[in-house]
Chains A and B, each alone.
Chain A
Amino acid sequence: MKYSGLQLAMQSAILTIMLSTTSFAAATDTPATSTGGLQAKIKYCQDCHGQSGQGYRGVLPIPRIAGQTTKYIENQLLAFFESRRDKNVSVNMPEIHSVSPAMRTALSAHFRNLNPEPLGDGPENLVATGKTIYEEGIPGANVPACSGCHGPEAKGKDEIPRLAGQIYPYTIKELTDWSKERGQNPTNEGTAAVMTPVAHSLSQPQIAAIAAYLSYLK
Chain B
Amino acid sequence: MRPNRLKAAVLVIVSSAVCSTVPSLAGGAEAVKFGNCTWCHGESGQGYTTAPRLAGQRPQYIENQILSFLNHTRDGPFSELYMWGTVKNLSLQTAHELAKYLSTLPPKAADDGNNELAAMGKTLYQEGISDSNIVACAPCHGSNAEGVREIPRLGGLSYYYLKTRLEQWGRGYDAAAEPPMQHIAKELSPNDIEAVASYLSFVK
In the complex, the answer to whether A47 meets B191 with C-beta atoms within 8 Å is no
A91 in contact (CB, < 8 A): yes
Q: Which of A9-17, A187-195, A196-204 contacts B (4 or more CB under 8 A)?
A: A9-17
Q: Find out whether the CB atom of B126 lies under 8 angstroms from the CB atom of A58.
A: no
Q: A1-B191, A2-B120, A5-B191 are in contact. Are A48 and B131 (CB under 8 A)?
A: no
User: Could you tell me the distance between the alpha carbons of A95 and B184 in the complex, rounded to whole angstroms?
Assistant: 16
Judging by beta carbons under 8 Å apart, are A35 and B135 in contact? no
Partner of A46, one of B130, B139, B148, B179: B179
Interface string of A1-36 (1 = CB under 8 A from B): 110010001101100100000000000000000010
- Partner pick for A5 among B128, B151, B183, B189, CB 8 A cutoff: B189
CA distance A1 to B191 in the complex (A): 7
User: Is residue B16 contacting chain A, with contact meaning CB distance below 8 A?
Assistant: no
User: In whole angstroms, what is the CA distance A5 to B151 when docked?
Assistant: 29
User: B33 within 8 Å of A by Cβ?
Assistant: no
Contact B133 A41, beta carbon cutoff 8 Å: yes
Say whether B141 faces chain A, with CB atoms less than 8 Å apart: yes
A62 and B131 alpha carbons, distance in the complex (Å): 20
The yes or no answer to B147 lying at the interface (CB within 8 A) is yes
Interface presence of B37 (CB below 8 A): no
Number of B residues, CB within 8 Å of A: 31
Q: A5-B189, A43-B183, A58-B140 are in contact. Are A92 and B131 (CB under 8 A)?
A: no
B127 touches A98 (CB 8 A): no
Given known pairs A1-B191, A5-B189, A97-B131, the reply for A51 and B140 (CB within 8 Å) is no
* Known contacts A16-B131, A59-B146, A59-B148; A48 and B140 CB within 8 A of each other: yes
Q: Closest chain A residue to B186 by CB distance?
A: A43
Bound-state Cα–Cα, A57 to B60, Å: 14
Q: What residues of chain A have their CB less than 8 Å away from a CB belonging to chain B? A: 1-2, 5, 9-10, 12-13, 16, 35, 40-41, 43-44, 46-48, 51, 56-60, 62, 91-92, 95-98
Q: List 21 A-B contacts (CB under 8 A).
A: A9-B129, A9-B131, A10-B131, A35-B131, A43-B183, A44-B134, A46-B179, A46-B180, A46-B183, A47-B180, A51-B179, A57-B148, A58-B151, A59-B143, A59-B148, A59-B151, A60-B142, A91-B138, A92-B128, A92-B139, A97-B131
